[in-house]
Amino acid sequence: MYKVFVNDIPIILSTKKDIGEEYTSFPIKKVRLRKVIKKINKGKLHYVNLYHEDEEKLLKYLLKKLRVVTAAGGMVLNDKEEILFIYRNDRWDLPKGKTEKGESIEASAIREVEEETGVQDLKITRFLRKTYHVFKRKGKYRLKVTHWYEMRTSYEGELRPEQKEGIEKAKWKNFKKSRKALQKSYANIKLLFPKEFFSPGNSKDRVA
């Protein structure tokens, strides 16, 4: 199963036609996806399921329907186990950006974090996951596929938010402040954190 976000509304991609009474289901091979997206944006649809019996073909058909923009970013932790957040468009987010032509995805992730926050000496420690988000550019819908990596750094220098990209702040946040920031973040960003992170009784100082 996959989740593709239109704003903060997830479109579910699954192998089952029926996943709940509240869901409107469409065969992904035949669905008029742009029409569905418009209805979601207008508040006429809230629960959407696109299905195909072959799980491997779910993304195949999705990628045929929307032009893909590849991006990469990082969940960066320092030696204090603090997480690096950026603040843009009235939301807390994690640094990310579009992959440039001829650039590896890993190199793109590191470059974008450095450019958006000023943090240096980054080391990728593991791949986290991909997230999928629909956005509109020049009147046409695009599918942003973002590759996320966990990164580590011992950098203690000044944070420099990239203002030309609309980033107002770059902040290190401990466990408590990170959990609070996620209340004013995006649904696809929350997917990067383990479920235990959101548990009221969890007082750990680590992400995982």
92 and 171 housed in the same domain: yes
**30 with 87, same domain?**
no
Same domain? For 128 and 48 the reply is: no
Whole-number Cα distances in Å, 79 to 64, 82, 83, 114, 172: 43, 7, 10, 17, 11
**3-state secondary structure (DSSP) of residue 65:** helix
In this structure, are 60 and 132 located in the same domain? no
State the Cα–Cα distance between residues 36 and 41, nearest whole angstrom: 9
Strand 123-137 to 2-6 pairing: parallel
Mean pLDDT throughout 139-165?
A: 96
User: Is position 206 within any domain?
Assistant: no
Asked if residue 122 and residue 100 are part of one domain, the reply reads yes
Q: What pLDDT was estimated at residue 194? A: 86
Check whether residue 103 and residue 37 sit in a common domain. Answer: no
CATH number, position 111? 3.90.79.10
* Residue 112 and residue 189 share a domain: yes
Domain's final residue, options 14, 36, 65: 65
Instruction: Return the amino acid letter for 201.
Output: G
Looking at residue 88, its pLDDT comes to 96
45 lies in the same domain as 123: no
For residues 147 and 60, membership in a common domain is answered with no
Nearest to 156 by CA among 172, 168, 167, 178: 172
Summarised one tens digit per residue, pLDDT across range 54-108 is 998 998 999 999 999 999 999 999 999 999 999 999 999 999 999 999 999 999 9
Structure-model confidence comparison of residues 207 and 123, the more confident one:
123
pTM value? 0.90
Q: Where in the sequence is the domain holding 83, given as residue range(s)?
A: 69-198
Whether residues 79 and 57 share a domain: the answer is no
What average pLDDT does the segment 140-156 reach? Answer: 97
Same domain, 30 and 75: no
Q: Which of 94-103, 141-150, 192-201 has the lowest mean pLDDT?
A: 192-201
Residues 36 and 100 in one domain: no
